[in-house]
């Protein structure tokens, strides 16, 4: 049984009902609290993790010791899908940004599942392809954007995936920090703070601690283009 509905476009959401049911029978369930590491950079990819509730961030530490946020994932997403085949070293860590429940499946068990469920294997390929396309689009968009444009672009992405429409605008249901947003947009914390302040003054957004409401999606879209 799922702890929360899978988010649209995730591995669990795209699986056929029967394939999803068989997958949820595998492995064991674990609970994590905010700040816990579900996976560690450079460790062997000996398991995959399926998120059942809560959100995580995937990040990598570069040669200078700086954290680079790569993505955020939520219910229905699969983690470790690129390294489980040969237990290759992981390129990033996965950290809970709130309470998380997840299914932890040994690499051998997940491989056997894909071998006997080819439709699930095709779904996994689809998910990986979507992620690669999204990363390429973001890279192209960021090339010509300043910090305000990059933050606007990421906020739109968060609205699309995690946003909830309210009378005040689109509420982003993701407890991320300014440091996370800065690392994710390749901007300093000061630049992110300035970008958010500019957007607040223009009436595009409202912010509280780890809480953002986008009041003018159209303005953000124009600024990010």
Q: What is the pLDDT of residue 3?
A: 67
For 11-134, CATH number out of 1.10.357.10, 2.40.50.140, 1.10.540.10, 2.60.120.10 equals 2.60.120.10
Q: What are phi and psi of 168, to 5 degrees?
A: -90, -10
Q: pLDDT tens for residues 33-49?
A: 999 999 999 998 889 99
Domain residue spans of the chain: 11-134, 142-224
Task: Say what percent of the chain tops pLDDT 90.
Answer: 60
Q: Does residue 14 surpass a pLDDT of 80?
A: yes
Q: Per-residue b/e over 116-132, b at no fewer than 16 CB within 10 Å?
A: ebeebeebbeebeeebe
Q: pLDDT tens for residues 48-57?
A: 999 999 999 9
Q: What is the pTM of this model?
A: 0.86
142-224: CATH architecture: Orthogonal Bundle (1.10)
Q: Does residue 209 surpass a pLDDT of 90?
A: no
Q: Does residue 1 surpass a pLDDT of 70?
A: no
Q: Chain-centre distance of CA 185, in angstroms?
A: 14
Contact 98, 34 (CB under 8 A): yes
């Amino acid at each position: 049984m799922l702890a929360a509905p899978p988010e649209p476009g995730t591995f669990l959401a795209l699986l056929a009902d029967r394939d999803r049911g068989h997958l949820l029978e595998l492995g064991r369930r674990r609970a994590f609290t905010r700040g816990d590491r579900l996976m560690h950079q450079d460790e062997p990819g000996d398991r995959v993790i399926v998120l059942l509730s809560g959100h995580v961030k995937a990040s990598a530490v570069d040669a200078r010791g700086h954290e680079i946020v790569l993505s955020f994932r939520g219910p229905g997403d699969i983690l470790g899908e690129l390294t489980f085949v040969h237990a290759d070293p992981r390129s990033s860590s996965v950290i809970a940004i709130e309470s998380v429940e997840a299914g932890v499946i040994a690499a051998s068990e997940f491989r056997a599942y894909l071998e006997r469920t080819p439709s699930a294997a095709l779904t996994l390929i689809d998910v990986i392809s979507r992620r690669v396309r999204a990363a390429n689009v973001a890279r192209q968009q960021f090339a010509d954007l300043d910090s305000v444009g990059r933050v606007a672009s990421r906020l739109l992405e968060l609205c699309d995936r995690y946003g909830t429409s309210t009378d005040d605008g689109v509420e982003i249901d993701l407890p991320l920090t300014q440091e996370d947003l800065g690392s994710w947009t390749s901007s300093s914390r000061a630049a992110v703070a300035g970008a958010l302040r500019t957007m607040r003054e223009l009436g595009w957004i409202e912010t509280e601690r780890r809480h953002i409401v986008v009041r003018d999606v159209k303005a953000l879209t124009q600024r990010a283009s």
